[in-house]
Amino acid sequence: MAEEVILLDFWASMFGMRTRIALEEKKVKFDYREQDLWNKGSLLLEMNPIHKKIPVLIHNGKPVCESLIQVEYIDETWPGENPFLPSDPYQRAHAKFWADFIDKKVNVTARRIWAIKGEEKEASKELIDIFKTLEAELGDKHYFGGETFGYVDIALIGFYSWFGVYNKFGNMRIETECPTLTAWAQRCLKRESVAKTLPESEKVTTFISQRLGVE
């Protein structure tokens, strides 16, 4: 029996990008279904009744929610030759720590730049500090896990398509202030899975500007 893999997602979601990249890396064929976040469909509400959010990965009729959990699920369900997480328990814990850091620090702080009026300046400074912390962790490694593209890279790379938003609303120049992180992102973009998934930053910036009624 053929496997059925469905992804309920929204094109600009950096969280959905994680799941799409993970599926592409494992060469898993999936049915991508774009969702209207302002008029949520019955399947999304049925498959994620608790949070009612995308992305939702549906594997043979069973939903898996939350992007980082989905990435782990994909890694374990389709192990292949390119594991996202290392086999060593300490290294696995280390990778999960940084993915959690990205969710709790990068996501929360970055959203304040464009979504909460009056917090742009403070949030921008905090975001640069957070990115510099990530640059220190990356060091001179090719990827966060070393030579292998993996869990932390997948957790973070989607935010790169939002750099234009942060630059515009936070009056920032992330590429100039964080050259190591920018070089890492450019390396990630050379991977087919990432290049295929990430939208152009300009497209995301235009979308957010239109939603906020800003030119």
Angular region, 124: left φ>0, alpha ψ -120 to 50, beta rest: alpha
Quote the CA–CA distance of 150 and 189 in Å, as a whole number: 14
Fill in the amino acid letter for 42.
Answer: S
> Mean pLDDT throughout 162-183?
97
Fill in the amino acid letter for 62.
Answer: K
* 23-54 residue pLDDT tens: 999 999 999 999 999 999 999 999 999 999 99
Helix (H, G, I), strand (E, B) or coil at 83: coil
**pLDDT score of 1 more than 70:** no
Which residues fall within 8 angstroms of residue 53, CB to CB, at 6 or more apart?
Answer: 65
At residue 211, the pLDDT reads: 93
H-state helical runs in 78-200 = 89-101, 108-115, 120-138, 151-157, 163-170, 174-177, 179-188, 192-197
Each domain of the chain, given as residue ranges in start order, spans: 5-77, 89-212
At residue 49, the pLDDT reads: 97
At residue 81, the pLDDT reads: 81
Map tokens 């369900």 to a residue. Answer: 77
134 and 181 Cβ atoms separated by less than 8 Å = yes
Banded model confidence at residue 215, pLDDT cuts 50, 70, 90: confident
Banded model confidence at residue 90, pLDDT cuts 50, 70, 90: very high
> Mean pLDDT throughout 156-172?
97
At residue 206, the pLDDT reads: 97
Banded model confidence at residue 173, pLDDT cuts 50, 70, 90: very high
Q: Which CATH topology does 89-212 take?
A: Glutathione S-transferase Yfyf (Class Pi); Chain A, domain 2 (1.20.1050)
155 and 194 Cβ atoms separated by less than 8 Å = no
At residue 80, the pLDDT reads: 85
Question: What stretches of 49-199 adopt beta strand conformation (E)?
Answer: 56-59, 62-65
Banded model confidence at residue 155, pLDDT cuts 50, 70, 90: very high
Quote the CA–CA distance of 29 and 160 in Å, as a whole number: 25
Tell me the pLDDT of the chain averaged across its residues: 96
> Mean pLDDT throughout 187-198?
98
Q: What CATH number has the domain spanning 5-77? A: 3.40.30.10
At residue 210, the pLDDT reads: 96
> Mean pLDDT throughout 198-209?
97
Structure tokens at 63: 């939903």
Which residues fall within 8 angstroms of residue 211, CB to CB, at 6 or more apart?
Answer: none
**pLDDT score of 183 more than 90:** yes
